[in-house]
């Protein structure tokens, strides 16, 4: 999880691990983030006492503005990212466009 504070004032950031049905798993993790500060921490580190499943997701909230990004994958095979989504924006479906680059012996091949 990568989180940035675009504001000049510090914020408290709360992370909740949720199961696929929206139920909270384990405790809430909190971090303080100074003005214009950033943090990067693995989900498994944030919730070290709780088993994290592939179907789980993280709900992030704070007392100020945030910019979020999740970087996932299995280096060096593949990586992908997901920008933070505003749960209050009214959307009920998330569409994630995919783009892949495959290294082959004859060069690169791109797919989308």
pTM: 0.69
81-110 pLDDT, tens digit per residue, is 777 777 677 766 666 555 555 555 665 544
- Do 1 and 46 meet the contact criterion of CB atoms below 8 Å apart? yes
Q: Hey, what domains does the chain have and what are their CATH numbers?
A: 2-111 (2.60.290)
Residue 24, strand partner residues: 18
49-66 pLDDT, tens digit per residue, is 999 988 888 888 899 988
Reply yes or no on whether the pLDDT at 21 is more than 80.
yes
Rounded to the nearest angstrom, the gap between the alpha carbon of residue 52 and the centroid of all alpha carbons in its chain is: 13
Question: In the chain, where do the E strands start and end?
Answer: 2-4, 11-18, 24-33, 38-40, 57-62, 67-74, 78-83, 100-104, 107-111
Reply yes or no on whether the pLDDT at 5 is more than 60.
yes
DSSP code of 7?
S
pLDDT, residue 25, reads 94
């Amino acid at each position: 999880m990568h989180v940035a504070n675009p504001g000049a004032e510090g914020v408290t950031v709360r992370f909740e691990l949720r199961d696929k049905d929206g139920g909270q798993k384990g405790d809430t993790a909190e971090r303080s983030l100074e003005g214009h500060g950033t943090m990067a921490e693995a989900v498994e580190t944030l919730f070290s006492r709780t088993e994290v499943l592939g179907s789980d997701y993280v709900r992030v909230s704070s007392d100020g503005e945030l910019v979020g990004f999740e970087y996932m994958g299995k280096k060096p095979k593949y990586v992908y990212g997901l920008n933070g989504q505003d749960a209050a924006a009214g959307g009920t479906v998330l569409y994630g466009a995919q783009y892949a680059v495959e290294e082959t012996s004859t060069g690169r091949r791109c797919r989308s």
